[in-house]
Structure 1
Amino acid sequence: MTRRTVRIAMNGVTGRMGYRQHLVRSLLALREQGGLDLGDGTTLWPEPVLVGRREHALRAIAERHGIEQWSTDLAAVLADPSVEIYFDAQVTSAREEAVRQAIAAGKHIYCEKPTGTTTVGALELARLATAAGVKHGVVQDKLFLPGLLKLRRLVEGGFFGRILSVRGEFGYWVFEGDWQSAQRPSWNYRSEDGGGIAADMFPHWEYVMHELFGPVRTVQALTATHIPQRWDEQGKPYDATADDAAYGIFELEGGIVAQINSSWAVRVDRDELVEFQVDGTQGSAVAGLRKCRAQHRSATPKPVWNPDLPATERFRDQWQEVPDNGDFDNGFKAQWELFLRHVALDEPWRWDLLAGARGVQLAELGLKSSAQGRRLEVPELSL
């Protein structure tokens, strides 16, 4: 077995997502399993090169995990010809310029979303990467969740018949930071720093809807800042200038109507932090992070509205659990493996920077829709 090393500049690994999901649970997990078997007698061995602004944080992570190289000099790392891939998990406002530099240096690009702060900027990254001939991808992790993989199985198997609607609920209560520390960084709640739940979550919903049900054709949204003051990591109060809740209605190709609520100011009364209910002429399903339950047309009960009597049926008991029928790996790691195979073997890949630009576009149009109080068309993007 031949081992091929691929060096990956990882920018933003001092943050929660970059560190836990991309470094520890993806690339380091691949190393722990002996590398990525390419199936041709070659094992791909990922070698992270940590990049960031905080020297002490980078050094601590490198020492903790036995990583040899780290740097606060992005330009120097990009100038190193042995580095093949640039990965970006920085704050959104810093991503676009860094990705531009990496494209100019001839690196393959893999980055978190949103890929830019504007549709124009995100689309330009896709055009630059395509013109440079580098491979490029954007993280679309929710497609690899066990619950949504089971939901995809139902869609592709024709379980629903004609799909009518999709309803999504996402969110949880993020503490304000005064009497309990917040679960999310303070920049998420400042629009001047690229924060806001629409900018964060609408790109997710775009690729979920696009991949499973069809392209988004119109959007009508209402955003809100329900908690106007929060406390930062140093315990200092600050004005929350970004939206912490976004309520969207999306019309998809083929007439499917999707309604998705996203909120960091909601208390959870669901089985999981995100759930999607899909209703079709032949059946319905509810999918979360890990589980998926289905109800076929032939097994649908016949409820009758009667507010004078207590309900005699336990409606949740009338759904059937969709079986795993396989093993599910960490979603971030699963997509990393596909991207690495795309780089090494030129295997098919469709989650590129153009797909990332569609997510930015939907977020931008959602915010515009809320500001103008009207429904907007979603034009198709192209390079």
Structure 2
Amino acid sequence: MSERVLGVVMNGVTGRMGYRQHLVRSVLAINAGGGLPLADGERVRLRPVLVGRSERKLADLAARHDIADWTTDLSAALADPANQIYFDAQVTSARVPAVTAAIEAGKHVYVEKPSAESYADAMALAKAADAAGVRHGVVQDKLFLPGLLKLRRLIEGGFFGRILSVRGEFGYWVFEGDWQDAQRPSWNYRTADGGGIVLDMFPHWHYVLEHLFGRVEAVTARAVTHVPERWDERGERYDATADDAAYGIFELAGGIVAQINSSWTTRVFRDELVEFHVDGTEGSAVAGLRRCRFQHRAGTPKPVWNPDLPATEPFRDQWQEVPDNAEFDNGFKAQWELFLRHVLEDGPFPHDLASGARGVALAEAGLRSSAEGRRIVLEETR
């Protein structure tokens, strides 16, 4: 069995998501499993080239995982012909110039979402990649989670009949950083640095809704900064200028209505940090990160509203669990493998930069809806 090595420039892996999910649980995990097997029997191992601004952080990370190649010089990494893929997990505000440089260097590009801070910039990247003839993709990890894979199974099996509505709840309390350390970086709460929950989460909701239920045609949203001051990584107080909660109504093709609350200022009283409740004429389902439960019309009880008596129905016990029926890999790793096969074998990959740009367009529309206090109809995008 032949084996080849593919250089992957990884920019931004000193950050939490880039390190945990992309470097450790995806790229290094693929190598630990013997490399990516291709259809012709060849196996591909990945040679990560770590790029960032801090020599100390890069050196520590490389030593920890026995990685030979790291640099603070992105241009040098892109100039090496052995490095065929560029991955970007930097702060959003730094993404466009780095990805543009990678495209100009002829590299295939795979980027975290949002792909840019504006739809115009996001589409410019998509067009540049197409013009250069390079393969391109955007991380859309939630589609690869066990809970949503089970939900897709129900949808494709016709379980719901006609889908009526989707209700989503996402979020948790992010500490302000004064008396307990914040779980998210401070740039998330500064508009000037590309922060805000709308720009962060609406691109997620866009691809979930688009791929599972239908194209988003209109949005009505309210974006709020509930906590106006926070403390950064150095313990210094700063003004939180970006939205930390958003409440959205999304109108989908076919008449489906989706309502999704996104918040870093809520305390969790549900089974998972994100849940989607889907109602259809023939049945309903609730999907989270890992679990998916359903209730068919034939098994639906007949609750009676009586506020004068305590509720005695065991509502949660009346739902069934969708079985695993498969082994689920890490969602980020699964999409990495799909993108690599797209590059190496021309495999299908619908999660391209144009798809990522549509997510940014939804975020822009949500912010505009909030600022203007009205419903925004989305223009057709490719």
The bucket for the TM-score relative to the shorter chain is over 0.9
In the alignment, is residue 84 of structure 1 matched against residue 67 of structure 2?
Answer: no
TM-fit CA distance, 1:39: 2.9
* Aligned residue type for 2:310: P
Residue equivalent to 1:351: 351
Aligned mates of 2:163, 2:28 — CA distance in 1: 40
Output the TM-score relative to the length of structure 2.
1.00
Residue equivalent to 2:284: 284
Task: Show the 5 A alignment for 1:92-171.
Answer: 92-171=92-171
Residue equivalent to 1:6: 6
Aligned mates of 1:231, 1:312 — CA distance in 2: 45
TM-fit CA distance, 1:80: 1.0
* Aligned residue type for 1:369: S
Aligned mates of 1:41, 1:97 — CA distance in 2: 37
**CA displacement, residues 270-312 of structure 1 (integer Å, 9 cap, x when unaligned):** 0000000000000000000000000000000101100000011
Aligned mates of 2:22, 2:181 — CA distance in 1: 24
Aligned mates of 2:292, 2:96 — CA distance in 1: 36
Residue equivalent to 2:342: 342
Residue equivalent to 2:245: 245
Unaligned runs of at least 5 residues, structure 1: none
Residue equivalent to 2:37: 37
Aligned mates of 1:59, 1:370 — CA distance in 2: 44
Aligned mates of 1:160, 1:113 — CA distance in 2: 30
- The alignment partner of 2:58 has SS state of helix
Aligned mates of 2:321, 2:131 — CA distance in 1: 47
**CA displacement, residues 9-52 of structure 1 (integer Å, 9 cap, x when unaligned):** 00000000000000000000011111011131200111100001
- The alignment partner of 2:343 has SS state of helix
Flag as ranges the 4+ runs of structure 1 deviating above 4 A: none
Aligned mates of 1:239, 1:309 — CA distance in 2: 47
- The alignment partner of 1:254 has SS state of helix
* Aligned residue type for 1:191: T
- The alignment partner of 2:364 has SS state of helix
**CA displacement, residues 176-205 of structure 1 (integer Å, 9 cap, x when unaligned):** 000000000000000010000000000000
Aligned mates of 1:359, 1:99 — CA distance in 2: 18
TM-fit CA distance, 1:98: 0.4
* Aligned residue type for 1:251: E
Residue equivalent to 2:176: 176
**CA displacement, residues 153-173 of structure 1 (integer Å, 9 cap, x when unaligned):** 000000000000000000000
Aligned mates of 2:145, 2:223 — CA distance in 1: 27
Output the TM-score relative to the length of structure 1.
0.99
Number of equivalenced pairs: 382
* Aligned residue type for 2:273: L
**CA displacement, residues 329-359 of structure 1 (integer Å, 9 cap, x when unaligned):** 0000000001111111111111000000011
* Aligned residue type for 2:367: L
TM-fit CA distance, 1:132: 0.5
Unaligned runs of at least 5 residues, structure 2: none
Aligned mates of 1:87, 1:35 — CA distance in 2: 18
